[in-house]
Amino acid sequence: MFLSVFDVFKIGVGPSSSHTMGPMIAAARFLDDLRGGVEKIPGAGQLHRLGASLHGSLAFTGKGHATDRAVILGFCGLLPETLEPDRAEDLEAQVRREGVVRPDGLGELRFAPDGDLVFDWGAPLPGHANGLILRAYDTAGNTWHQQTYYSIGGGFVLTAAELEAQKAAGADLHDEKAAQAFPFPFPFGTAAEMLEMGTGSGLSIAQMKRANETVLHGAALDDKIDRILKTMDDCIDRGLAQEGILPGGLKVKRRAKAIHDQLQAEKGLNLAQPHQANDWMSVYAMAVNEENAAGGRIVTAPTNGAAGVVPAVLRYYRDHCVGATHAGCRDLLLVAAAIGGLIKHNASISGAEVGCQGEVGSAAAMAAAGLCAALGGSNAQVENAAEIALEHHLGMTCDPAAGLVQVPCIERNALGAIKAVSAASLALKGDGQHFMPLDNCVRVMLETGQDMNLKYKETSTGGIAVNLPEC
């Protein structure tokens, strides 16, 4: 089993990895099918028009998550990692005005979002809560080509056939392909295997993860890690500098800059309470998630909705922890990715599938494990830190107000960062021996998510989403 650090941490845009980045990637993949000469449906004429329908959570909360915008931009040929937000806004407006897209290699195709992009609020598609069907038509309106995609969380996208193959194999399709192509030295698929391999090799989790990544990325690995670290850092800095109201209609005010200014003003004045460390962690996380809510450049960690936790803990480690090093930052990211890969492989990181326990809960487990490792924790302590953090997010629902990644998501990331640091600290105070193994906790998270009522899984039909002040 292998999921790269660059699969877990992907550079993209807000507000959602599953509802924004995923559909954009799906639309771009569909264009690649058309360019690649995919066999058209018999009897179809000349390629003329595109269409899309959104299902399940993508329909229920798609407007709040800018899913329609993502499909439009994907049909224009844009991808999350290279998208420039300012250009994207102009391009979306142009498509809505003209009713056409002009993807490279396909000429001009009709696509009028008001009629060709359908939010289907009926039953979800059978494969996953986040489903979309993309279609191409000929000049007579006959279907030229059709494909069903599932956005399974964290920006990962599978066709219906790929998802079925994954379920049949009982493993992640990406992992299986990678495992066949590359001989990874430490192919752990569970936390128990990870600990066993660490004991057998005498290596830390960070060292094993680095050895696996080096097979794929060689000498370029550290430069690629540093790019992720810098993007996370830049996102925090942008969020700490911005003011105003977040888009979407809830009129949520950006708070990170004002809190940060206050914390800076209190430095050296002996006014700080001991718990002010929590305020620093919170403001770093809030800065990221305010940027995400505004559609800014973001790193999935492991999703956009949970993107503030790992960067906040990284900044806390770098700027506030005694003995912090740049090598420690790299190790933190590697270990966080190892834990995130295990959770995705054995459960889910999708809020639409298992609730926010799969998003902020997973992020907190990743950050706790990474910080524990960076602070010198043993492999057993690292596994314990991840388990503590995940255990105390079990059952957390995903119920965003108006389908926007704002309330309660921004503050939830702040509290996730605080829990992560507390979990790492508790683990470091012990010897790594504990009652509940991480693997069991991950299994409980999946089972809890499967049992959770659909209205609490990113549909905005329950919880906080329907208990808003009437004013």
Burial class of residue 454 in the structure, from the number of CB atoms within 10 Å of its CB (0-12 exposed, 13-18 middle, 19+ buried): middle
**What residues pair up with 159 in beta bridges, in sequence order?**
149
Mean pLDDT of 317-323: 97
Range of the domain at 20: 16-169
pLDDT of residue 306: 98
Q: Which two tokens mark 263?
A: 């914390």
- Name the band, by pLDDT with cuts 50, 70 and 90, for residue 258: very high
pLDDT of residue 174: 45
- Name the band, by pLDDT with cuts 50, 70 and 90, for residue 178: very low
Q: Which residue has the higher pLDDT, 2 or 156?
A: 156
How many CB atoms neighbour CB 183 within 10 A?
A: 8
Q: Are residues 326 and 451 in the same domain?
A: yes
Q: Are residues 41 and 154 in the same domain?
A: yes
Q: Are residues 165 and 205 in the same domain?
A: no
CA dihedral 54, 56, 61, 66 (to 10 degrees): -30
DSSP 55: E
Within-domain flag for 112: yes
Q: Are residues 158 and 221 in the same domain?
A: no
pLDDT mean across residues, the chain: 94
Within-domain flag for 176: no
- Please identify which residue in the block is written with the tokens 């407006």: 93
Within-domain flag for 421: yes
Q: Are residues 91 and 151 in the same domain?
A: yes
Within-domain flag for 10: no
pLDDT of residue 180: 52
- pTM equals 0.90
Within-domain flag for 11: no
Q: Are residues 187 and 161 in the same domain?
A: no
pLDDT tens digits along 123-139: 999 999 999 999 999 99
Peptide bond preceding 302: is omega within 30 degrees of 0, i.e. cis? Answer: yes
C-alpha separations of 34 from 48, 75, 143 in Å: 12, 11, 13
Of 134, 169, 204, the residue at which a domain comes to its end is: 169
Mean pLDDT of 199-222: 98
d(CA 350, CA 356): 8
Within-domain flag for 402: yes
d(CA 334, CA 71): 32
Within-domain flag for 1: no
Mean pLDDT of 276-299: 96
d(CA 237, CA 287): 8
Contact 175, 166 (CB under 8 A): no
Q: Are residues 136 and 210 in the same domain?
A: no
pLDDT of residue 50: 98
Q: Are residues 47 and 126 in the same domain?
A: yes
d(CA 357, CA 47): 43
Within-domain flag for 7: no
Overall domain count for the chain: 2
Which is it for the CA torsion 161, 164, 168, 171, positive or negative? positive
Q: 157-166, 376-385, 413-422: lowest mean pLDDT where? A: 157-166
Q: Are residues 159 and 186 in the same domain?
A: no
CA 275 to chain CA mean position, Å: 29
Contact 344, 396 (CB under 8 A): no
Of 169, 196, 226, the residue at which a domain comes to its end is: 169
- For residue 178, the SS3 value is helix
Q: Are residues 239 and 368 in the same domain?
A: yes
d(CA 186, CA 160): 30
- For residue 342, the SS3 value is helix
- Name the band, by pLDDT with cuts 50, 70 and 90, for residue 43: confident
Q: Are residues 293 and 270 in the same domain?
A: yes
Share of the chain above pLDDT 70, in %: 97
Q: Which two tokens mark 350?
A: 């999708």
Of 146, 169, 192, the residue at which a domain comes to its end is: 169
d(CA 10, CA 27): 18
pLDDT of residue 77: 95
pLDDT tens digits along 136-154: 999 999 999 999 999 999 9
CATH of residue 20's domain is 3.30.1330.90
d(CA 184, CA 214): 9
Q: Are residues 362 and 250 in the same domain?
A: yes
